[in-house]
Structure 1
Amino acid sequence: MKNNKTAVFLFLSTVFLVLVGFQNDDPGELTTKEKLGEKLFFDPILSKDRTISCASCHKPEFAFADTSAVSLGVDGTKGERNTPGITNLSGRPNLFWDGRSASLEHQALQPIQNPVEMNLSIAEAIKRLNDNHIYAAAFQRVFKGPATDKHLGAALAAFERTMETANSPYDRYINGDDHAISAAAVRGRMLFIGKANCNTCHSGEDFTADRFKSIGLYNGKELNDMGRFVVTKDSAHLGDFKIPGLRNVALTAPYMHNGMFKTLKEVISYYNNPDAIVKNGKNRDLALSKPLGLSDEEISDIETFLRALTDDRFAKVNR
Structure 2
Amino acid sequence: MVCRFGSRVVVFAAVAAASLFVTGAVGYAAETVVLGDDDSLLTGIPGKGAVTEDQLQKWLDNDANHAELEIKLPKGLDAAKANIFVPEDNPMTRAKIELGRQLYFDPRLSSDGTISCASCHHPDKGYGFDTQFGVGVGGQQGGRNSPVAYNRIVSKAQFWDGRAGSLEDQAVGPIANAIEMGNTHEACVATITEIPGYEQQFTKIFDDGINIDNVGKAIAAFERAIVTGPTPYDYYQPIEQFEKTFDDIMDELDDEPELKEKYDELKKAAAEHPMSESAVRGMKLFAKKARCAECHAGANFTDEQYHNLGVGMDAEKPDLGRFDVTKDPKDKGAFKTPTLRNVALSPPYMHDGSQKTLEEVVEWYNKGGHKNPWLSDKMKPLELTEQEKKDVVAFMKEGLTGEFPKVESGRLPSDAKKKTDKKSDGKKMAKDAGRGFLGVTCNASDVKVARVARVLPGSAAEAAGVQIGDVVVKVNGQKVTTYADLRAALKDSREGEQVKLRVKRGDEAKTLSATLGTLSAEK
Which range, TM-score by smaller chain? 0.7 to 0.9
Q: Which one has more relative contact order, counting CA pairs under 8 Å at least 6 apart?
A: 1
Relative to structure 1, the CA distance from residue 189 to residue 56 in structure 2 (aligned partners, 3 Å threshold; closer, same or farther) is same
1:296 matched residue in structure 2: 386
Q: Decide which of 184, 194, 203 is 1:121's aligned counterpart.
A: 184
How many residue pairs were aligned? 295
Tell me, yes or no, if structure 1 residue 312 matches structure 2 residue 413: no
Q: How many angstroms apart in 2 are the aligned matches of 1:266 and 1:78?
A: 23
Q: Decide which of 67, 77, 98 is 2:161's aligned counterpart.
A: 98
Q: Decide which of 344, 349, 353 is 1:250's aligned counterpart.
A: 344
Relative to structure 1, the CA distance from residue 62 to residue 228 in structure 2 (aligned partners, 3 Å threshold; closer, same or farther) is same
Relative to structure 1, the CA distance from residue 292 to residue 190 in structure 2 (aligned partners, 3 Å threshold; closer, same or farther) is same
3-state SS of paired residue (1:178): helix
Tell me, yes or no, if structure 1 residue 65 matches structure 2 residue 128: yes
Q: How many angstroms apart in 2 are the aligned matches of 1:126 and 1:197?
A: 47
1:220 Cα deviation after fit: 5.6
Tell me, yes or no, if structure 1 residue 286 matches structure 2 residue 377: yes
Q: CA RMSD in A?
A: 2.3
1:126-180 Cα shifts (integer Å, max 9, x gaps): 1111121110001112114421112111100000001112322222323433322
Q: How many angstroms apart in 2 are the aligned matches of 1:142 and 1:235?
A: 44
Q: How many angstroms apart in 2 are the aligned matches of 1:147 and 1:253?
A: 36
1:178 matched residue in structure 2: 270
3-state SS of paired residue (1:312): coil
Relative to structure 1, the CA distance from residue 154 to residue 203 in structure 2 (aligned partners, 3 Å threshold; closer, same or farther) is same
2:14 matched residue in structure 1: none
**Rg bigger for which structure?**
2
1:159 matched residue in structure 2: 222
1:215-237 Cα shifts (integer Å, max 9, x gaps): 11243634610110111111111
Tell me, yes or no, if structure 1 residue 25 matches structure 2 residue 52: yes
Q: How many angstroms apart in 1 are the aligned matches of 2:298 and 2:172?
A: 28
2:285 matched residue in structure 1: 191
Q: Decide which of 120, 130, 142 is 2:205's aligned counterpart.
A: 142
TM-score normalized by the length of structure 2: 0.54
Hey, which of these two has a bigger chunk of strand by percent? Answer: 2
Contact kept, 8 Å, 2:312 with 2:352, in 1: the verdict is: no
TM-score normalized by the length of structure 1: 0.87
Hey, which of these two has a bigger chunk of helix by percent? Answer: 1
Q: How many angstroms apart in 2 are the aligned matches of 1:256 and 1:42?
A: 25
- Mark the runs of 5 or more structure 1 residues left unpaired by the alignment: 1-14
Which amino acid is 2:348 matched to?
Answer: P
Which amino acid is 2:111 matched to?
Answer: K
2:364 matched residue in structure 1: 270
Q: How many angstroms apart in 2 are the aligned matches of 1:162 and 1:22?
A: 23
1:113 Cα deviation after fit: 0.8
For residues 36-55 of structure 1, the aligned pairs below 5 Å read 36-55=99-118
Contact kept, 8 Å, 2:142 with 2:180, in 1: the verdict is: yes
Contact kept, 8 Å, 1:61 with 1:314, in 2: the verdict is: no
1:264 Cα deviation after fit: 0.2
Q: How many angstroms apart in 2 are the aligned matches of 1:112 and 1:161?
A: 19
3-state SS of paired residue (1:155): helix
Tell me, yes or no, if structure 1 residue 35 matches structure 2 residue 35: no
